[in-house]
C-alpha cells in the first residue's frame, strides 16, 4: 500500500490577489468503487492519515473526522489548532469545533471552549448524545468533562503566555476594535475600553496592519471523509484568531461556515477569515451550488466570488474552501488572498503529486476521483 497525497500550494504574493503557480485542469485519481476518501485543509498529513486509517478499515466517516482533527489538536498544528495557541486579548486560549453527519444532517459543535483540550471530541459528544447543535463557553467545558473528557484549568502554555505578554508590551497591537468606536484609541493603546459617544473622535483605520500581522491566524483544520458505505461527514477545529476579543466565536463552530456535508450531494471544508465566513456561509453555499447542478469547481468559485463581489478585492479578506462532489467524484477548490493547501488520500500506486491552487479569477483545478 502506498499513501497518495495531493498538496495544493502556491507562494503568497502580498502585492496582489493571487500567486505564481502551475495549473492543471484535471487529474485522474483512479478511485475505485466503495473506496473511501479523506480531504482536509492544509498539508496536515498526520491528520489525513489518522482519518484514513479509520475509513480504510471500514469505520464510519464521523469517527474518521474526529480522529483526524484530534491528531491535529494534539500536535497543535501550526499553532492554530488545539491548546496553547492564539491567545485572546485576556491571554487565554479557547477552542471552536464542529462535526456534521451528512447522512442525518445532525451537527455537534462547541464554541469558546476553555477547559477541555479535546474540542472535536466534545463536538462529537454534542452530536451523538444530545438533541442540540452547539454548546458554548464554560457550560460546554462542564458538559464535556462531566461526560469523561479531561479537565484543564487553562489551555494556555508558556509559549502562548509569552506571545500575549509581547502583544501587551506592544500596546495591544493589532486588535479587533473598530476605528472610532471606543476610548482610549485602540490603535494606540490597550484597554479597558469604553464606548465613544456619537460625537467622539474617529481614529485611524488599522486594517492594513491587521491583515499583515494576523495572516497566520487562519489555519483551521477542516476535514471531509467518505467511508466504504458512502457515508459523508465533515468537521473543523481551531483555536481561532490571535488576540481576538475574549468570547469570540469563529466559523469552525458554525455549520455552513467551517464545513457542511450532505451525503446526497457532497461536502465542503473551509479555512480563512472566520468572521467573514460566518456572514456568508461559503460551505453551505458550495454544497447548495452542487445540489443545483454546478460542478465542484463551479460551486467553490461561485461561493467565494459572492464574498469578493460584496466586499471588493481590496477588503483584505483571505479564505479558501475545498468541496467534494460525491455524485460525480470530483474535488474543487478556490482561494482568495493567502496561499492555501489541501491534501487528500486513498489507496493507489501513483505516488506523491503536488498541484498549485490558482487564484479565483483564473481557471481553478478540478481533481477527478471517479464516480461513487
Q: Could you tell me if 41 and 221 are in contact, meaning their C-beta atoms sit under 8 angstroms apart?
A: yes
Task: Please tell me the distance from the alpha carbon of residue 260 to that of residue 77, in angstroms, as a whole number.
Answer: 22
Q: Could you tell me if 92 and 167 are in contact, meaning their C-beta atoms sit under 8 angstroms apart?
A: no
- 62, 116, 220, 271: the active-site residue: 220
Report the half-sphere exposure of 223 (CA within 13 A, side-chain side): 39
Task: Please tell me the distance from the alpha carbon of residue 246 to that of residue 301, in angstroms, as a whole number.
Answer: 33
Task: Please tell me the distance from the alpha carbon of residue 190 to that of residue 175, in angstroms, as a whole number.
Answer: 9
- What residues contact residue 162 under an 8 Å CB cut-off, 6+ apart? none
Cell of 37: 476518501
Say whether the peptide bond before residue 220 is cis (omega within 30 degrees of 0): no
Q: Could you tell me if 90 and 246 are in contact, meaning their C-beta atoms sit under 8 angstroms apart?
A: yes
Active site residue 48: no
Say whether the peptide bond before residue 192 is cis (omega within 30 degrees of 0): yes
Task: Please tell me the distance from the alpha carbon of residue 311 to that of residue 196, in angstroms, as a whole number.
Answer: 26
Active site residues: 220
Amino acid at each position: 500500500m502506498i499513501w497518495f497525497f495531493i498538496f495544493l500550494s502556491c507562494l503568497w504574493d502580498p502585492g496582489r490577489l493571487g500567486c505564481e503557480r502551475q495549473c492543471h485542469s484535471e487529474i485522474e485519481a483512479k478511485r475505485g468503487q466503495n473506496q473511501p476518501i479523506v480531504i482536509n485543509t492544509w498539508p496536515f498529513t498526520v491528520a489525513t492519515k489518522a482519518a484514513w486509517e479509520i475509513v480504510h478499515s471500514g469505520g464510519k466517516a464521523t469517527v474518521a473526522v474526529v480522529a483526524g482533527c484530534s491528531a491535529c489538536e494534539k500536535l497543535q498544528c501550526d499553532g492554530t489548532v488545539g491548546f496553547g495557541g492564539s491567545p485572546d486579548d485576556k491571554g487565554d486560549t479557547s477552542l471552536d469545533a464542529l462535526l456534521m453527519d451528512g447522512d442525518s444532517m445532525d451537527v455537534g459543535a462547541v464554541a469558546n471552549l476553555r477547559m477541555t483540550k479535546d474540542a472535536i471530541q466534545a463536538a462529537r459528544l454534542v452530536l451523538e448524545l444530545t438533541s442540540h447543535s452547539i454548546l458554548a463557553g464554560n457550560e460546554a467545558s462542564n458538559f464535556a468533562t462531566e461526560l469523561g473528557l479531561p479537565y484543564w484549568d487553562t489551555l494556555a502554555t508558556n509559549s502562548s503566555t509569552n506571545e500575549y505578554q509581547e502583544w501587551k508590551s506592544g500596546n495591544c497591537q493589532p486588535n479587533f476594535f473598530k476605528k472610532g468606536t471606543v476610548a482610549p484609541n485602540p490603535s494606540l493603546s490597550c484597554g479597558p475600553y469604553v464606548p465613544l459617544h456619537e460625537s467622539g473622535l474617529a481614529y485611524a483605520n488599522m486594517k492594513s496592519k491587521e491583515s499583515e500581522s494576523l495572516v497566520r491566524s487562519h489555519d483551521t483544520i477542516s476535514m471531509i471523509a467518505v467511508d466504504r458505505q458512502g457515508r459523508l461527514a465533515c468537521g473543523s477545529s481551531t483555536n481561532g484568531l490571535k488576540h481576538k476579543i475574549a468570547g469570540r466565536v469563529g466559523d469552525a463552530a458554525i455549520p455552513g461556515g467551517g464545513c457542511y456535508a450532505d451525503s446526497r450531494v457532497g461536502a465542503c471544508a473551509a479555512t480563512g477569515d472566520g468572521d467573514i465566513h460566518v456572514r456568508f456561509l461559503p460551505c453551505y453555499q458550495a454544497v447548495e451550488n452542487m445540489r443545483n447542478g454546478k460542478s465542484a469547481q463551479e460551486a467553490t468559485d461561485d461561493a467565494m466570488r459572492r464574498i469578493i463581489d460584496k466586499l471588493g478585492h481590496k477588503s483584505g479578506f483571505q479564505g479558501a474552501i475545498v468541496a467534494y462532489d460525491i455524485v460525480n467524484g470530483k474535488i474543487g477548490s478556490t482561494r482568495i488572498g493567502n496561499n492555501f493547501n489541501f491534501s487528500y488520500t486513498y489507496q493507489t500506486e501513483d505516488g506523491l503529486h503536488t498541484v498549485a491552487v490558482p487564484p479565483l479569477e483564473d481557471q481553478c483545478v478540478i481533481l477527478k476521483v471517479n464516480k461513487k
